Amino acid sequence: MATVTPLAPAAAPRAARGSEARRHRARQGILGWLFSAPYLVFVGVIFAFPLGFAVYMSAHDYFFTAPGVNVNRPFVGMRNYVQALTDPAVRRSFYNVLVFLLINVTLTVVLSLVLATLLNQVIHARAFLRVSFYLPYLTASVALVGVWLFLFSGTGLVNQLLGPLAPNPSWLVNEQLAMPSIALYVTWKGMGFYILLYLAALQNVGKELYEAAATDGASRWQAFWNVTVPGVRSATVLVLLLATITGANLFTEPYLLTGGGGPNGASTSPVLIMYQQGIQQGKPGYAAAIGVLLVVLTLGIAFLQNWLGRERDS
């Protein structure tokens, strides 16, 4: 026989309070979803749907058709992925982009932080200098590529300055130097944006820390290494992530600077191959498979950077 234990005198108000708290939390939850809805819809439509569709395309012999045209797009499973992973041109492009990221991301982080630190200490012509660094970022790559070609062509200014030390074949037609040259260009072009990020972060590093370091007899280098670098750690993680993601999507520069990924594929990027395969050659399913692989690679690198860069309790 079941027994019913009567509630203690104080339990009834507690239960009522608990029920009210649950209702409050539910109301807050609904409100939260309502406030989040515009962004969730944005993410769903702009990111999740295309990503899901790309995964769908990559598993089919997909191609674009005119509206109303009935065609068979058979399911091919992992065939596009296997083809991509065994295609020497695709593998080369992933290798190229890793080389690019290694140079571009490293240079971006180091130079942006150093230049931002120097700019932060400048008193005269501060606005002029900041605009000067930011200008290439704002200018269309198509326009800047012309300048870069003028500088780095066989008879360009750089080679004239280098004289007998100029590489042969020249920078952009040299299999070893084409991708590093592109990485250098992209670093230069994007640096203004990253300098701004670091400048913002530097405003949050307390002056008293530098004063304390000076009191302890720290040199400028020691103050930079022990105060500035840890002080902008969160900005560094952001710069790493942004530079990696934008760098992995490299397209315009090899398309324009090296005439479609030359010489001999030394500067092709996965996105350039996706463009060739998906748009020019009419194989968007295969291009989507390369794109999904690129997303996985980029997420992997970004996760690693986030994990390495996050602050840990000692």
Partner 1 sequence: MNGRAKVLAVAVGFGLVLAGCSSGGGGASAQTSAVQARGPISIWYSNNEQELAWGKAMVEAWNTAHPEEKIEGQEIPAGKSSEEVIGAAITAGTAPCLVFNTAPSAVGQFQRQGGLVNLATFPDGASYIEGRTGEAAKQYKAEDGGYYQLPWKANPVMIFYNKDMFKKAGLDAEKPDLSTYQKFLDAARKIKSSGAAKYAINPAPTSEFFQAQFDFMPLYSAESGGKQIVVDRKATFNDAAGLAAATFWKTIYAEGLAGKEPVQGDAFGTKVSAMSIVGPWAISAYKGKINWGAVAVPTSAGKPAAETYTFSDAKNVGLYTACKNQATAWDVLKFATSEEQDGNLLTKTGQMPMRANLQQAYPDFFTKNPAYTQFGDQAARMVEVPGGPHTVEMLQALRDAYTKAVVSGEGDLQQALNEAADKVTTLAGQ
Residues that bind partner 1 (CB under 8 A): 40, 44, 48-53, 55-57, 63-71, 73, 89, 146, 149-150, 153-154, 169-170, 172-173, 258-265, 276, 279-283
**201 vs 290, which CB is nearer to partner 1?**
290
Joined together, the tokens standing for residue 108 give: 């971006």
Helix (H, G, I), strand (E, B) or coil at 283: coil
Q: Least distance to partner 1 from the beta carbon of 115, Å?
A: 30
Q: Least distance to partner 1 from the beta carbon of 39, Å?
A: 12
Q: Least distance to partner 1 from the beta carbon of 293, Å?
A: 17
Q: Least distance to partner 1 from the beta carbon of 25, Å?
A: 15
**173 vs 195, which CB is nearer to partner 1?**
173
**100 vs 148, which CB is nearer to partner 1?**
148
**43 vs 125, which CB is nearer to partner 1?**
43
The residue whose two tokens read 């001999």 is: 264
Q: Least distance to partner 1 from the beta carbon of 168, Å?
A: 11
Backbone dihedral angles phi then psi of residue 239, each to the nearest 5 degrees: -60, -45
For 255-306, the DSSP string reads HHHSTTT-STTTT--HHHHHIIIIIISS-HHHHHHHHHHHHHHHHHHHHHHH
**127 vs 143, which CB is nearer to partner 1?**
143
Percentages of the chain per state (helix, strand, coil), in multiples of 5: 75, 0, 25
CB-count burial class (<10 Å; 0-12, 13-18, 19+) for 31 = exposed
